[in-house]
Amino acid sequence: MKILLTGANGYIGMRLLPLLIEQGHEIVCSVRNANRLSVTEDLRKKIEVVEIDFLDEVKPGLLPTDIDAAYYLIHSMSASTDDFDEKEELSAKNFNTYLAQTNCTQIIYLGGIVNEKNLSKHLWSRKNVEEILSDGPGHLTVLRAAIIVGSGSASFEIIRDLCEKLPVMITPKWVKTRCQPIAVRDVLTYLTGVLGKGECYDESFDIGGPDILSYKEMMLQYSKYRNLSLTILDVPFMSPKLSSYWLYFVTSTSYKLALNLVDSMRVEVITKDTRLQQMLNITSISYVQAIDLAFKKIKQNQVVSSWKDSMVSGRFRKDLKKYVEVPDQGCLKDVQTIKLKNPEQALENIWSIGGNRGWYYGNWLWKIRGYLDKAFGGVGLRRGRTHPNKIYEGDSLDFWRVILADKKEKRLLLFAEMRVPGEAWLEFDIDENNVLHQTATFRPRGLKGRLYWYAMLPFHYFIFAGMINKIANS
């Protein structure tokens, strides 16, 4: 089958893509920016890529007409706290318009469980998208899931952050809300299992794991698995906004995502339907088994995707390309060079920078900068990196975003997503003479920006000089 995969850069899309290829399907990946599609060169050769922003005006002729089925995996919850529902509605309508120009017979949509009367704004939006897609050109198959648990998933990483960092928690009352978590492995099995099945056309199915747990129980079971001591004290007076700030400062989540998550956590998301499980003969794994699988992937450095790499986790919304050309005019720079004795090792060091490896010199200063950034509403350092030594364009790297990662040309370019009065780049480049050029570029915004740069100069003197020496000699 020829399949359109939207959200190919997303958490689910990146995991679904290789499975569909393995099954012999011809895949058309729809992305906002083709340069951001983080796949291997071998996989890239097997797919067709089209650039479509479903929030923009529809442009005829972008999609091939011979599409048989389409996956709708577009989500805007973490992009906004106010109008994400309007964006999701527009995106779904434009998707229908695009798909009307094809021969598509089935649309598969991954939504949320909407069995309660009083839904959150997020769940109402998911339900609204479902209704819009049902008016589309193909037969709609809806999979309604609760919390998805797996390496790199937002739910897993938030619980991981909380339990690993806080032995005692004072929590809001929503920790008693029940949900039915499902392993990402099972979600993918359902997504591939319904493809092309006529009995699944024009149907909606709840999907969940075998366990019904409160958020408190999920954290306690995680802590038990990890042999951590955890005491949870829930209080009735913590407001949703205060809860959101609590999640934002303690975990690696963005404030927008935290606010929308807290709003949804007050609603029970429990399945009332097991038809699909029986139809596809799927035995779902438990919550603890899902945690175990997640840690196995982490230990083996096999995390395929992470919500942290999503563009909405930082400052970017659209095109990365305009940041590839680092400006010269009106900029302040710190330039360091060093002759390399072992250029290949230095290149590996560059590709391993950040995350658990750190920044080679003055890591405590980087951490302080991360804490300050978080305090002023920035992303902080907690996003880390998805893989210890693989980098793709568009990936998050602590409080940087990867703009260009060309290992053949030995060049890595990062753009700062931290809160700064201006724009900042950090570039590593090894030339043909095996000289490493490390350049920090800052384009200040007014007097405030210039004062910031000069205030940071003493730290830059030690940090940047120490960093290039460690990269060259480690």
Same domain, residue pair 190 and 300:
yes
57: tokens are 């005006």
- pLDDT of 468: 94
Same domain, residue pair 54 and 164:
yes
Same domain, residue pair 393 and 275:
no
Q: Which of 263, 285, 309 is the last residue of a domain?
A: 309
Does residue 64 lie within any of the structural domains? yes
Q: Based on the number of CB atoms within 10 Å of its own CB, is 237 exposed (0-12), middle (13-18) or buried (19 or more)?
A: exposed
Same domain, residue pair 71 and 164:
yes
Count of domains in the chain? 2
The CA radius of gyration of the chain, in Å to the nearest whole number, is 23
Mean pLDDT by 10-residue block, N- to C-terminus, for the chain (474 residues)?
90 90 93 76 86 88 92 71 78 92 94 82 85 92 91 82 85 85 94 94 94 93 93 77 72 70 78 90 93 83 59 51 79 93 94 89 86 76 77 84 90 90 93 94 91 88 91 90
Residue numbers of the domain that contains 51: 2-309
Q: Are strands 106-112 and 69-72 parallel, antiparallel or unpaired?
A: parallel
Instruction: Please give the angle made by the CA atoms of 146, 259 and 316, to the nearest 5 degrees.
Output: 100
Domain of 427, CATH number, reads: 3.30.530
Could you give the CA distance from residue 84 to residue 257 in angstroms, rounded to a whole number? 11
Same domain, residue pair 280 and 377:
no
Decide: 114 and 268 in contact? Cβ < 8 Å.
Answer: no
Does residue 19 lie within any of the structural domains? yes
Could you give the CA distance from residue 40 to residue 391 in angstroms, rounded to a whole number? 11
Same domain, residue pair 78 and 215:
yes
Could you give the CA distance from residue 470 to residue 436 in angstroms, rounded to a whole number? 12
Instruction: Please enumerate in sequence order all residues whose Cβ is within 8 A of that of 474, keeping only pairs 6 or more positions apart, or say none.
Output: 345, 349, 360
Could you give the CA distance from residue 432 to residue 410 in angstroms, rounded to a whole number? 10
Question: Among positive and negative, which fits the CA dihedral 319, 324, 326, 329?
Answer: negative
Query: What's the 3-state SS for 218-258?
Result: HHHHHHHHCCCCCEEEECCCCCHHHHHHHHHHHCCCCHHHH
Same domain, residue pair 362 and 271:
no
* Residue in 181, 185, 200, 183 with CA at minimum distance from that of residue 280: 200
Same domain, residue pair 259 and 358:
no
- pLDDT of 304: 60
Does residue 400 lie within any of the structural domains? yes
- pLDDT of 36: 72
Strand partners, 428: 412, 438
The DSSP result for 412-451, as a single string, is EEEEE-S--SEEEEEEEEE-TTSEEEEEEEEEE-HHHHHH
Decide: 112 and 267 in contact? Cβ < 8 Å.
Answer: no
Decide: 123 and 264 in contact? Cβ < 8 Å.
Answer: yes
Does residue 106 lie within any of the structural domains? yes
Same domain, residue pair 293 and 345:
no
Amino acid symbol at 357: R
The DSSP result for 312-346, as a single string, is GGSS--S-SGGGTS---TT-EEEEEEEE-S-HHHH
Same domain, residue pair 295 and 437:
no
Could you identify the residue written with the tokens 């797919």?
47
Whole-angstrom distance between the N-terminal and C-terminal Cα of the chain? 49
Distance (Å) of CA 69 to CA 57, 60, 74: 23, 18, 16
Does residue 314 lie within any of the structural domains? no
Same domain, residue pair 298 and 392:
no
Amino acid symbol at 372: L
Does residue 317 lie within any of the structural domains? no
Across the chain, which distance is largest between two alpha carbons, in Å?
A: 67
The DSSP result for 149-193, as a single string, is ESTT-HHHHHHHHHHHH-SEEEE-GGGG-EE--EEHHHHHHHHHH
Q: Which of 263, 281, 309 is the last residue of a domain?
A: 309
Could you identify the residue written with the tokens 């199915």?
205
Q: Which of 283, 309, 335 is the last residue of a domain?
A: 309
Same domain, residue pair 26 and 110:
yes
Q: Based on the number of CB atoms within 10 Å of its own CB, is 357 exposed (0-12), middle (13-18) or buried (19 or more)?
A: middle
Q: Based on the number of CB atoms within 10 Å of its own CB, is 315 exposed (0-12), middle (13-18) or buried (19 or more)?
A: middle
Decide: 48 and 64 in contact? Cβ < 8 Å.
Answer: yes
Does residue 88 lie within any of the structural domains? yes
- pLDDT of 310: 56
Domain of 180, CATH number, reads: 3.40.50.720
- pLDDT of 6: 93
Does residue 462 lie within any of the structural domains? yes
